[in-house]
Structure 1
Amino acid sequence: MNILVPTDFSKLSQVAIEYAVNMANHLSASVTLLHVMDNFVKPTRASLQEEAKAISREASVLAKQRFEPVLKEAEKLNKTGKPIMVKIRKGRSFSNTVRLFAKRNDMELIVMGTKGASGLSKYVLGSNTVSVMEASRIPVLAIPSRARFTNFKNIIYAADLKYLEHEIGILKPYLKALDATLHVLHVCDKTKSEDELQNKVKSILKQVDYRKSTVKIKSGKPIDKVIDSYVKELKADMVAMFTHKRTAYEKLFHRSVTKKMAFQSHVPLLAFKSK
């Protein structure tokens, strides 16, 4: 597996790097660290163009210097036998630069920090992660500031059931690699038959042939609070969710809930882009 970790050299991105390297040790995966530099609009005047190039060169040199201690600390944790790669790219859009780099370099997972210290810092750091989630076809693992890697035992998959078989098929290779138990959680309104929904999910789990799994149907609102409650009840190691091109209901369920979980979750959130 190839793991990409975008970094802005903040403490939060350092948490993501440590998490990714320890995860790579567990999976025998490769890790690439990526720093995205702002690519400002080129000035039209020749004198200003030269000045802009000089500023860009200085920024690139500074980024390389800042990578040195980050890489040194990451390599101390690295037990894969594979060197950690360091890359610097320019881009006007952070999420698009990360997305294109991940696609062109065959990355299979993007690991990013989420939840800054407070106020604007919290919003900006979280929104960068969410913007990559929404742009990337490659799954994004959002790491909360206090998270530390442990062997994954229990993964909650928060599902709306619409594309259940397709989505579990996507999840299955990750579950196998992590040797984790999948707990399918569906939050419904009280008018639906919980037994009927549970039987439906169990039938699909049998078809996709992943036996290390359980099913939980819960009712309640808001949905993110119900998910968070089940995370605590189960002592889950990760939450997995999918985003879609959506109907009005799906926009309500997925977009807002995935964003809230990315900002609020105390455990890593694995976000996939589905159909």
Structure 2
Amino acid sequence: MRKNILLPTDFSDNAWSAAQYAFKLYEHVDCTFYFLHSSNLPVVAMQNVSNKLGRIVGENTKKELMALSRLAKETNANPKHEFKTILSIDDLHEALETYISRMNVDLIIMGTKGATNAQERFFGSNTVNIIQKIKSCPVLAIPDNYKFAVPKEIAFPTDFNRVYGDELQPLKELASLYDSNIEIVHLNKTDDITELQDQNLDGLKEALKDFVCSLHWVPEYNTKNQGIKDFLEHNKTDILVMINYKQGIIERLIKEPVIKNIGIHPIIPFLVIPSQGK
């Protein structure tokens, strides 16, 4: 089945790096990639922009999008891939919501950008904003200048506090691309698991029975960020996958201030799956 993948771009090296990762990840899949640029300006700024200047800005941006599409075709000569462009005057979140529905988008793939504060967070503000607001489509965030490697190991941190349903489908599809192993990660001690969590774990194993899985019990650190980061480094994981439940691990993770010398950016691609209203 053909995939529709949305690639938000600000024409930066970061955004292009994420796009290149996307082309490699879906090398063997029929895909339509949509380069989307949001040229939204604040109302105050718009009041100071003449209609003529506004048209010039729009035309120049369209030319940049077309040049980006041509570059993608030249550097990714793959008959399975098609490239289209979208220029929106809405803000990024609104533009994404509109075209997720209109183009039946399966996945958003975007780069990450770090903050500039002394105490920085797990993601840049733009990426965090999209992860928090987009509820209808998975988001795959790619670290800056990350070089593609076949994803042999996929980490799936979870707390076993919920019954697993259709939200596992993006994880299954990702693992199916390259027959990846799924590392189920629980940030706690084995004997701390409740009866309900144990039942949910059994349900998770059943849901993933067609995949090679391993279960990892990881001591919880002062910050979940550090616990996950250490696991990823020690296990040579290729992609991190998490479900974005309300008051779940991701919500706590992106709120944790992390000192620079610990490492503030995701070190591998991170797939965030919206919860199914649970």
TM-score, normalised by the number of residues in structure 1:
0.82
In 1, are the aligned partners of 2:162 and 2:200 still within 8 Å (CA)? no
Q: Which blocks of at least 5 consecutive residues in structure 1 are unaligned?
A: none
In 2, are the aligned partners of 1:99 and 1:135 still within 8 Å (CA)? no
In 2, are the aligned partners of 1:185 and 1:217 still within 8 Å (CA)? yes
User: Equivalent pairs: percent with the same residue?
Assistant: 21
- Deviation of 1:29 after TM superposition, in Å, equals 2.1
Q: Which blocks of at least 5 consecutive residues in structure 2 are unaligned?
A: none
Alignment of 1:116-131 (within 5 A): 116=114, 119=116, 126-131=124-129
User: Which of the residues 77, 101, 104 maps onto 1:103?
Assistant: 101
User: Which of the residues 8, 11, 21 maps onto 1:6?
Assistant: 8
Q: After superposition, give the CA deviation of every residue in 1:146-180 in whole Å (9 maximum; x if it has no partner).
A: 31222211100111212352243552233223421
**Matched length:** 262
Alignment of 1:260-271 (within 5 A): 264-271=265-272
Distance (whole Å) between structure 2 residues aligned to residue 170 and residue 86 of structure 1: 24
Change (3 A) 1:259 1:76: farther
Distance (whole Å) between structure 2 residues aligned to residue 198 and residue 73 of structure 1: 50
Change (3 A) 1:63 1:254: same
In 1, are the aligned partners of 2:189 and 2:217 still within 8 Å (CA)? no
- Deviation of 1:127 after TM superposition, in Å, equals 1.4
User: Which has the larger share of helix?
Assistant: 1
User: Which of the residues 37, 43, 53 maps onto 1:41?
Assistant: 43
Distance (whole Å) between structure 2 residues aligned to residue 193 and residue 105 of structure 1: 42
Distance (whole Å) between structure 2 residues aligned to residue 103 and residue 27 of structure 1: 21
TM-score, normalised by the number of residues in structure 2:
0.82
In 1, are the aligned partners of 2:106 and 2:138 still within 8 Å (CA)? yes
Change (3 A) 1:207 1:62: closer
Amino acid at match of 1:255: E
In 2, are the aligned partners of 1:198 and 1:215 still within 8 Å (CA)? no
Moved more, 196-205 or 27-36: 196-205
2:28 counterpart SS class? helix
2:231 equivalent to 1:230: yes
Q: After superposition, give the CA deviation of every residue in 1:101-130 in whole Å (9 maximum; x if it has no partner).
A: 1222111010110034x727x98x821112
Distance (whole Å) between structure 2 residues aligned to residue 114 and residue 100 of structure 1: 22
Question: Where does residue 240 of structure 1 map in the other structure?
Answer: 241
Moved more, 19-28 or 132-141: 19-28
Change (3 A) 1:83 1:156: same
2:23 equivalent to 1:21: yes
What's the RMSD between the two structures over aligned residues? 3.1
Change (3 A) 1:168 1:68: closer
